[in-house]
Amino acid sequence: MSAEAAPFVRFQHVSKSYDNSGAAAVRDLDLDVARGEFLTLLGPSGSGKTTTLMMLAGFERPSSGAILVEDVDISRTPAHKRGLGMVFQNYALFPHMTVAQNLAFPLQVRRMGRAEIDRRVKRALEMVRLEGLERRRPGQLSGGQQQRVAVARALVFEPKAVLMDEPLGALDKSLREQLQYEIKRIHRELGVTIIYVTHDQSEALTMSDRIAVFNKGRVEQCGAPGALYDRPANLFVAGFVGENNFLDADTTGTAGETVTAQSAAGAMAATNAGAGKGRCVIAIRPERVVVRPPASESATRLAATVAERYFAGDHVRLVVRLASGETVAVKTSRIEAQNLPEPGAAVTIGWRAADAFAFAPEDLAAEAAAPSKELLPA
């Protein structure tokens, strides 16, 4: 969101507690959403993302702070008076109504005329590409079709914004990917503000203008997908957004933005992301690790042994074992993989300092809270 743009939605010091224990589901949240933006709230279960969405929707009330839409505090406004569309994971369609009747319902509640209702229902069906299915009931539709109806129902009354809570979580992988592009297409064509909750980082990277990464009730980092992926703010974000290898080391020096470090595996270099002195954690993404790197192009060169090699469709994945016993995942294209060694072979791996990050260890529970770094292909 540009500095000049006034926020369309604003969370100001919002907290939410469910009891008197002092534990908060959301802690002192400050977050702005621009008009027309696709903002994703990303995080593991219990991180506060869904609670944040439910407070904006009006299904939960903040314990403190204010939620503003177009500079109006709606923190105590009933959900049905907020003018926000809602899409749930379980569709929440009326099973006894036809598709057309489901779409007409929010318009009838708003006492629109018959002609206007018919016009909007027809347009909504065209928008989600379900023309000709208006007489069917939800039970006669596939899961993907039902979710398209749910999206259309959230949009049919032209809401101020659409809130989506894990809307694709119940669908299989292929259909989920298809609907990701459909929702993004609708967003692009309508220019509607969408606030989207998911725990799927791949989904967030694909769909979002910006991503707010939640952890333990707070936003760890908020920014464009590329910024979060290429420049994570801390260990938690590095572990949760995309895949990373994490290697323990001790800082030996700094020069500008570059940190040098030493571990049992050898000397390493990385971009300083708050490493400080003493112990640090080096994070390097598998696709940034180079096998047999030219000495002139790699600040880090480590001896390793190939432990495993896997074909993963669009790429080949290696798992190499360092002298320290740590394992590193490597992703490379199928063309480059033709010359890669087989399991058991000795090899050198490396990377540029700009492609890795040196973090302060912090409380490594943050890293533990992130998804496990499986070295085998999914």
Q: 60 with 171, same domain? A: yes
Q: Is residue 258 part of a domain?
A: yes
> Is 333 in the same domain as 212?
no
Per the structure block, which two tokens stand in for 17? 């507690």
Q: What is the CATH number of the domain that holds 33?
A: 3.40.50.300
Domain boundary residue, one of 191, 206, 230: 230
Residues 6+ apart with CB under 8 A from 28: 13, 14, 15, 65, 218
| pLDDT per residue rounded down to tens, the chain (378 residues) | 444 567 999 999 999 998 766 678 999 999 999 999 999 999 999 999 999 999 999 999 999 999 999 999 999 999 989 999 999 888 788 899 999 999 999 899 889 999 999 999 998 898 888 898 999 999 999 888 898 899 899 988 889 999 999 988 878 888 888 889 988 998 998 899 999 999 999 999 999 999 999 999 999 999 999 999 999 999 999 999 999 999 999 999 988 899 999 999 999 999 999 888 889 999 999 999 999 988 777 889 999 999 999 888 888 899 999 999 999 999 988 777 777 888 999 999 999 999 999 998 874 444 444 433 334 333
Which residue do the tokens 């969101």 mark?
A: 1
- Tens of pLDDT, residues 68-77: 999 999 999 9
- My answer on whether 164 and 311 are in the same domain is no
CATH of the domain at 362: 2.40.50.100
Answer yes or no: do 84 and 157 share one domain: yes
Asked if residue 362 belongs to a domain, the reply is: yes
Same domain, 219 and 294: no
Same domain, 46 and 133: yes
In a domain, 225, yes or no: yes
Split into its structural domains, the chain has a count of: 2
Domain boundary among 230, 262, 277: 230
Q: Which domain holds residue 156?
A: 9-230
With respect to residue 84, please indicate whether it lies within any of the assigned structural domains.
yes
One domain, residues 156 and 124: yes
User: Do 30 and 130 belong to one domain?
Assistant: yes
Indicate if 250 and 365 belong to the same structural domain.
yes
Residue 138 and residue 223 share a domain: yes
Residue 3 domain-assigned (yes or no): no
Could you tell me if 8 and 70 are in contact, meaning their C-beta atoms sit under 8 angstroms apart?
yes
Q: In this structure, are 164 and 273 located in the same domain? A: no
CA dihedral 40, 70, 74, 102 (to 10 degrees): -60
CA nearest to 151, candidates 236, 247, 85, 70: 85
Over residues 346-376, the pLDDT tens digits come to: 999 999 999 999 998 874 444 444 433 334 3
Q: Is pTM, for the whole model, over 0.85?
A: yes
Looking only at Cα atoms, what is the longest distance across the chain?
Answer: 75
